[in-house]
Structure 1
Amino acid sequence: MTKKAIVFDNSGTLIERFRVIKDVSTGELITHINSLNLIDSFLNAALVVLQFNTNCLKGLDPNTLISDFVIENNIDFDISYYSTDVSKEEITAILEKDTAIIKDITDTFPLLKERVPNMELCNGSAVIIDIAEERIAYTITSAGQLFSGVKETIAKLQDNDIDVFIASGDRSAAIKRLADITGVPEGHAFATASTHRKAEIVANLQEKGYKVMMVGDGPNDILAFKQADSAVLTTEQKDGDFPDKLKNYADFVIGDISEVLQIDF
């Protein structure tokens, strides 16, 4: 009997996401734009996930440089998505000389709390680096709540001997908590997974004899869609922007996460 596995993206797939983006240059707070689409609008940009709990920023001098905070506290980061190849060393060099401040992150907190008063998961903070201009162009803070039926869907999949995995671009602590909440084994949850890493995770499972379904909602899932035996685009994130190129790679389009139970793969 063929082993089966489902790999879920997190934000917009298992979690209804809410994010606030700050334009560092203008101070504008943005809630209606998908950060991945924003990156795709640049010729050279990268989404950099900062590996820390945002609560630790509340007691800091708001004028502290983000670069100083990252360096002095040895904060790790990962490149989750990009419109052009860039190394971690290149990002480090940009961060070290950038002038964005902690306030550029914490300014998003009140609006995010207003939008998600009962947040189940704080995905944390990230920055969008304009590689060409060598600066932090935007800060992003996000949080979310499980879509209705997620826990039940995962439990039914597991009852049907389908192994469940999570591959997400979000920070490690958030994905560990998500695994705890949903009953996914911690070893099956992969954080700060880039577009290429998601495809590798699918390929590695296939090499182990699994038939794999990938479930996602964004352009960072396209390579995994192409690699998987079945690709499922979920549109449950109502404010999502699903470009045709994404739909073209999907074998199925669903509006509710529980619909994966009806797909034979």
Structure 2
Amino acid sequence: ACSSGVVTIDEISKILHTDTRAKVSDLQICIRNVWNFCKSLQVVAMNSGVIVNKNTGAIEFTITSGGKPFSNAKDTIQKLHVMGIATYIASGDRTDKLLKMADYLGIPHENVHGISTPPVKAQIVRDLKSEYGRVIMVGDGVNDIAAMKEADLAILSEQQFCWKPKMLTDAADIIIRDVIEVIDIVSGDLSGYSSRDQNSCADGGKCREKSRETDSKR
């Protein structure tokens, strides 16, 4: 889910089945370290996985990430709903984890799309464009580029203050440092369109401080 290109299931399956270096204990160490940091948080999301190298055909790292929603993420979603803006989540994370986050943010379960690869995210935006008058995509990673290019307006969030590649910044119409800025952007965007048109705001699963604590192990 973190690739901007197409990675097939067969390619990944072959690496996972033939790798001889990675151990289950490597992943357990990552999970334990991140959980010790995050367990005191009121709302937390954790994900674990591996990073594979297609060139070497091996598992390079096991990784666990955990974090909490940005402090103003819930407020942003609530204000969008008051404005009549439908909100959606499209993320590579598992659906069951996303539903818990959606409950906290106030996003309907039917608007949550889990295990979404870059092509799937792009298709979701296209589908929303056929339903709504205008679709805004908010993302923060290279796996959001395809969806950002499909949206009527693409917003790149730099709230996590990590380096963004040029291909990602080039895909954005607007770059923000705080998710609450979406409110003013949407308000200004709507002023140029009929109030009869419905609008939607799709989030690439990024109203979450996903990399606040990350642990990886070779």
Q: Whose strand proportion is higher, 1 or 2?
A: 1
Cα deviation 1:148-198 (Å, max 9, x = unaligned): 111111011011110000111112221111111111011111112111111
Shift of residue 236 of structure 1? 0.9
SS at the partner of 1:133? Answer: coil
Q: Whose helix proportion is higher, 1 or 2?
A: 2
Alignment gaps of 5+ in structure 2: 190-218
User: How high is the TM-score relative to the length of structure 2?
Assistant: 0.78
Aligned to 2:15, which of 94, 115, 123?
Answer: 94
2-structure distance, mates of 1:172, 1:162: 22
* Coordinate RMSD, CA, aligned: 1.8
Q: CA 1:219/1:82 → structure 2, altered by over 3 Å: closer, same or farther?
A: closer
CA contact (8 A) 1:121 1:177 kept: no
Aligned to 1:256, which of 178, 201, 209?
Answer: 178
Whether 1:160 and 2:83 are equivalent positions in the alignment is: yes
1-structure distance, mates of 2:57, 2:178: 40
The equivalent residue for 1:207 is 130
Alignment gaps of 5+ in structure 1: 1-79
Residue-pair matches, total: 185
Within a 5 Å distance, the mapping from 1:184-223 to structure 2 comes to: 184-223=107-146
Amino acid at match of 2:164: F
The equivalent residue for 1:237 is 160
Whether 1:146 and 2:74 are equivalent positions in the alignment is: no
Amino acid at match of 2:171: Y
Q: CA 1:157/1:127 → structure 2, altered by over 3 Å: closer, same or farther?
A: same
SS at the partner of 2:121? Answer: helix
1-structure distance, mates of 2:38, 2:163: 20
Q: Which runs of 4+ in 1 moved over 6 A?
A: none
CA contact (8 A) 2:3 2:142 kept: no
SS at the partner of 1:193? Answer: coil
CA contact (8 A) 1:124 1:141 kept: yes
The equivalent residue for 2:57 is 134
Shift of residue 243 of structure 1? 2.1
Amino acid at match of 2:27: I
